[in-house]
Amino acid sequence: MNTFSRGRRLSAAALTALAVAASATACGSGSGSSGSKAADGGTYTIWDPYPQFAEGSAWTKLLDACGAKAGVKVKRTGFDTSDLANKTLLAAQQGNSPDALIVDNPVVSTLAEAGVLTTTDDTKLDTSAVDPNLLAAGQSDGKTYGTPIGANTLAVYYNKKVLKEAGVDVASVKDWPSLTAALAKVKQAGKKGITFSAIGTEEGSFQFLPWFWGAGAELTQLDSDQAVSALTLWKDWLGKGYAPNSVLNNTQTTSWQEFASGDYAFAENGTWQLANAKKAGFDYGVIPVPAASGGNAAAPTGGEFVTIPVQDSTGRYATSQKLVTCLTSTKNLYDTDTTLSYVAPTTEIQDRQVAANAQLKPWVAAVKAAKGRTSDDLGTKYPKISEQLWKAVQSALSGSTSPKDALSAAQSAVK
């Protein structure tokens, strides 16, 4: 059983890791409301990163329904993602954690290492139906800390009109050479190639990872030949004018705005842009990010885990488990993931999603190939690795250093 003493001082590593990981949200949200103390008796508190859903929304109605099913009242507070991570640490230090916590998946391992979260063995939470690659984002040292409520990830959007005018058949884009050849044709036709986010934050690392992993690189060795080839690909695209210099400052939002202008052939972006894609005013399609030599590259998983924080009164876990089980049941996940523009974490619901909306088919494929940023037992090491990775990307793309030198410096800094 996990234990967490009220007076415990969190390690500097945990605090630093959380500060970085908290910024690793894949989809943005509005500002949150203030926190509340965990209630006693028949009231159970739930904290989530969805402040955009007000009282009376489908989300809050689901929380209330799950509370009623468990025989308790739910008191819910929605926070901005970065605020939620920090509030959770503070609450844990004060022995005042919520009964259920929905948190961005890269933060899970940090909270677990700090002793904030129970394991699924502690609470008897069943995760057997969850896709293993998605569950891995909430695992550390052989233990599982919660269950995913849904997942989003990255893929490549394309503008059908731009490709047609450039004489590019999107079916020919199967690997890096064929994608680069398509970009060359697009430029020759007087159009713009591909846009993405290479900003010096977690968003930059998030967008680089499919190419990094697609080259066969590993986060434990940032300066491998495979890693250098991925960064060289991006640098060459900028050098040849296939991608704009604005990628150095692009967030995922501003990158999307460039694509939404209708001038670009391709854009790397996420599931959360589907609603905006429908409003863009042009026909688009989606393909998974291609790996260097073909097939689908592993893209990083976004999305949240539903977790159960450590409580002084362990008798509360049984009801907390009922709440989490209700929120992540087959019936409720389908509706929730539709609301959040998430791909469900189980094959059964993914199949239902594709049957209802064929446009989700490439996203399900991307999610099935996806990988958690903290997988491979990186845990709290990931934020430091990620920071050095985005610094290397910035350094190489700005022309300050070569991809090889930038990644060698990154690897040395991580060590």
DSSP 245: G
Cα torsion through 137, 139, 144, 148, rounded to 10: 0
Cα torsion through 112, 117, 122, 128, rounded to 10: -70
CA distance 365 to 210: 14
Q: Which of 211, 197, 199 is nearest to 257 (CA)?
A: 197
At the top level of CATH, which class does the domain 12-152+302-368 belong to?
alpha beta
Query: Over its length of 415 residues, how does the chain's per-residue pLDDT go in tens digits?
Result: 333 333 334 444 444 445 444 444 444 333 333 333 343 459 999 999 999 899 999 999 999 999 999 999 999 999 987 789 889 999 999 999 999 999 999 899 989 999 999 999 999 999 999 999 999 999 988 999 999 999 999 999 999 999 999 999 999 999 999 999 999 999 999 999 999 999 999 999 999 999 999 999 999 999 999 999 999 999 999 999 999 999 999 999 999 999 999 999 999 999 989 889 999 999 999 999 999 999 999 999 999 999 999 999 999 999 999 999 999 999 899 988 988 889 999 999 999 999 999 989 999 999 999 999 988 778 888 989 999 999 999 999 999 999 999 999 999 999 8
Same fold, 12-152+302-368 and 154-299+378-414: yes
CA distance 72 to 119: 23
| Phi and psi at residue 45, to the nearest 5° | -95, 140
- Per domain, the residue ranges of the chain are 12-152+302-368, 154-299+378-414
Cα angle, residue 302 at apex, residues 334 and 170 outer, rounded to 5°:
90
pLDDT at 83: 83
DSSP 239: H
Specify the residue for token string 């690909």.
233
> Are the C-beta atoms of 389 and 212 separated by less than 8 Å?
yes
State the fold for domain 154-299+378-414. Answer: D-Maltodextrin-Binding Protein; domain 2 (3.40.190)
pLDDT at 323: 97
Cα angle, residue 373 at apex, residues 86 and 269 outer, rounded to 5°:
95
pLDDT at 41: 53
> Are the C-beta atoms of 247 and 235 separated by less than 8 Å?
no
pLDDT at 380: 82
CA distance 25 to 29: 9
> Are the C-beta atoms of 143 and 166 separated by less than 8 Å?
no
80-93 burial, b at 16+ Cβ within 10 Å, e below that, comes to: bbbbbbebbbebbb
Q: Which of 95, 88, 80 is nearest to 18 (CA)?
A: 88
Conformation bin of residue 51: beta by default, left when phi > 0, alpha when psi is -120 to 50: alpha
At a CB cut-off of 8 Å and minimum separation 6, what does 177 contact?
Answer: none
pLDDT at 341: 83
Q: Which of 142, 62, 70 is nearest to 102 (CA)?
A: 62
CA distance 381 to 384: 6
pLDDT at 148: 96
CA distance 205 to 32: 25
pLDDT at 377: 78
pLDDT at 12: 44
pLDDT at 172: 97
Cα torsion through 220, 221, 222, 224, rounded to 10: -150
CA distance 402 to 223: 12
| Phi and psi at residue 186, to the nearest 5° | -65, -45
> Are the C-beta atoms of 413 and 263 separated by less than 8 Å?
no
DSSP 75: E
Q: Which of 360, 213, 369 is nearest to 291 (CA)?
A: 213
- C-alpha distances in angstroms, 271 versus 98, 261, 366, 370? 29, 19, 10, 13
pLDDT at 322: 97
pLDDT at 23: 45
Name beta bridge partners: 304: 104
